[in-house]
Amino acid sequence: MDYRELFREENEAVRERHELVLERIRQIGEEETVREPYRLFFRSAAAFALLAEETYEQQAAGVLQRLSLQELKRHNERLYADVQGANYEKSYANPAQAVKLLGETYGPFLCFLYTELRGLIPCAYECRLAEMTIWMELLIEVYNLFEGEDPDPRQVKEALYYFESDYCDVMLTYRVRETLDPSLDFAKQIIMEEDLTDLRYLYRFGEFISPAELETAEYLGSLPEETVRKMADTFTEGYRKGFAASGRSYEGKRTVQIRYHLGFERMIRLAVENFRAMGLEPVIARAAVGSMNRAASRTNGYYGTPASRPYEYDHRYDSALYLDKAFRDRKLAVLRAAYETYRDLAAGYAGPAVVETFGEEEFAPVNCPQAFSLSGKQEKLLLSYSGEAARIADEYIPGSETSFTIIAFPLPEIGPAFREIFRETIRINTLDSELYRGIQQTIIRALDEGQAVEIRGRGANRTRLRVCLREMADPQRETNFENCVADVNIPVGEVFTSPRLAGTEGILHVGRVYIGEFQFRDLELVFRDGKTVSYTCRNFESPQECRDLVKQVVLKNHDSLPLGEFAIGTNTTAYEVAQRYGIFNRLPILIAEKMGPHFAVGDTCYSRMEDCPVFNPDGKEMTARDNEISALRRENPQEAYFNCHTDITIPYSELDTVEVIRKDQSRTAILAGGRFVLPGTEALNGPLDALASV
């Protein structure tokens, strides 16, 4: 079915309302019933709403499909001009500029409204007239408040608050549906049916299209079919292996959600075909739009390069305008009702398959004082919502019945060597798993002899951390470390465990590391009994701003988190490539975690799947799937999970030693001087030797 037909009935039901609100919006440009400076704001907001309406009409009539590449580019620029590049400094979407132009009383509220109205863009492209109508009605409701005398600020805030609350059942319910329902195939139709050699197809999605998306699509179009198929096969085979490695089956499951960065459609088309051959129909939903469904530092869906990273950063906590206990409770009730409505779709969902990207230009966040931020009380409300929402989702989509896979590729922003780095990434993603399996099993045997592992940095790296290990009941049949060989986590190259928290203590320090979109400088976390007791970095002059950034990005707004994972990365090939091209600090954690010992704060790798047996290739069961906190899940499930897992890697260049400590305090070195010294692991030093000889 053509996506324009999917919402025909809903669109017809609101047609009269839509015409009425549209007529009122057109009048804003001619009226003078609102005094300046607010009149100019509302005229700008109305002009954007009319541009969205023009887009909807052109999309519904098929006009956009007939435009040339240059015409589509100009239209895309019109939609995103206000927040793109330097324009953002002068935009009403900029909280600082909104307050400057509109004052402290109304500026934050009108900035929020202006930003939320950008949700009209995806609705216009997907021909969802009902949602366009309610957003336009909100604009008129607030506009009416400003006609005549200036309104009571509480009236403006209440209008925005009750809009979000009243329409929570529309926006949140649709978000649940679009991540589960394969019949909502707006993006999938583009991927599977358009001519991918004609780059006009990229503008069909309605996302901002930068040179990165165009160059990526053009490059993939130049690759041999066998190369792109190898990329897709590695991706989907990793998904299949994820189920096999955990002893689970995807039989009875019907769908898989694909998440990816625009530009990779040629690979995604082949992945769709592969998944269909496995009996799984892909769901391809847009990344969340609007404060209701958006989450700070998390992308869930397909997406393009942001038109403005400062814009994204400034609006990460817009929900602070309306987040209170009543709203949290309503949102949870709507979420449960939505999952109940789509219970059958949820039962058929097998889990996500994710294509990550890396190489984006470094973004140095600057905190805007005028932007919304969460109060301490709101942070707790948001965390409690996230925890309860995860429990609701797990009722309908049990983690024990799903799996996932993640793979990563570079974007052109990584530099002039983009094509070479891309080819090297394909090589890294397809390394010989059998070779690594044997070497990693050697490392695991040594680790299983210990009661703890000590990690020390060298040079300027201040790491000195003792990680305690679980005591095994039957070492002949059990192991503390999983042998990870390129199934769910591609590429190959790590052994990992859930540490015992009691006795785990010390300092974890990294000179430079990317986490999410942010590069941290001198990131430091201090642990006591396996939990963070302090943290900082050197991204800002203000120590408090540094702590706030670590808390937001690393700890996901928790005051403290446990050490959920300790691992040793073995992919020295990836490390050599990173050093050779000078891109170590621009790699995603997916690859970076394989390039040295790494640590994750938050939940363990087995979150909500602790009771699913996991076996290594040698037949031993990996039994360190719990820690003292996740073990609370049966008695106090609300205290067992943090719903986050943030990895931090120490590169070999900053590493001195990783040593196993036995009960008698004797030691065995796994690494020393940043090199593998355990007998049987010498092959891992080959790429390191190649670097040393340069």
Return the H-helix or E-strand segment holding 622.
strand 621-622
Strands (E) across 112-266 are located at 255-259
Is the link from the previous residue into 37 a cis peptide, with omega within 30 of 0? yes
Please give the pLDDT value at position 515: 83
Query: Alpha-carbon distance 484 to 650, whole Å?
Result: 18
> HSE (CB half, 13 Å, CA atoms) of 417?
11
What residues in the chain have per-residue pLDDT under 70? 1, 296-298, 486, 694
Give the residue among 148, 175, 172, 143 at the shortest CA–CA distance from 159: 143
What residue type is assigned to position 43 of the chain? R
Return the H-helix or E-strand segment holding 690.
helix 686-692
Please give the pLDDT value at position 296: 62
Give the residue among 216, 211, 553, 520 at the shortest CA–CA distance from 355: 216
| In contact, 211 and 414? CB cutoff 8 Å | no
Query: Alpha-carbon distance 60 to 455, whole Å?
Result: 60
Query: Alpha-carbon distance 629 to 268, whole Å?
Result: 38
Query: Alpha-carbon distance 450 to 446, whole Å?
Result: 7
Strands (E) across 494-540 are located at 494-497, 500-515, 518-528, 531-536
Query: Alpha-carbon distance 110 to 188, whole Å?
Result: 35
Instruction: Collect all residues with Cβ–Cβ distance below 8 Å to 111 and sequence separation of at least 6.
Output: 92, 93, 94, 95, 98, 99, 102, 370
Question: Tokens for 287?
Answer: 């990344």
Query: Alpha-carbon distance 67 to 401, whole Å?
Result: 45
Please give the pLDDT value at position 298: 59
Q: 186-406 adopts what CATH topology?
A: Thermophilic metalloprotease-like (3.40.1830)
Compute the CA torsion angle 43, 47, 53, 58 (nearest 10 deg).
Answer: 160
Instruction: Collect all residues with Cβ–Cβ distance below 8 Å to 416 and sequence separation of at least 6.
Output: none
pTM, whole model, 2 decimals?
A: 0.90
Please give the pLDDT value at position 4: 73
Domain boundaries, the chain: 3-166, 186-406, 432-692
Distance of CA 568 to the CA centre of its chain: 24
Query: Alpha-carbon distance 377 to 384, whole Å?
Result: 11
Query: Alpha-carbon distance 550 to 439, whole Å?
Result: 35
Instruction: Collect all residues with Cβ–Cβ distance below 8 Å to 395 and sequence separation of at least 6.
Output: 339
| In contact, 682 and 666? CB cutoff 8 Å | no
Please give the pLDDT value at position 564: 97
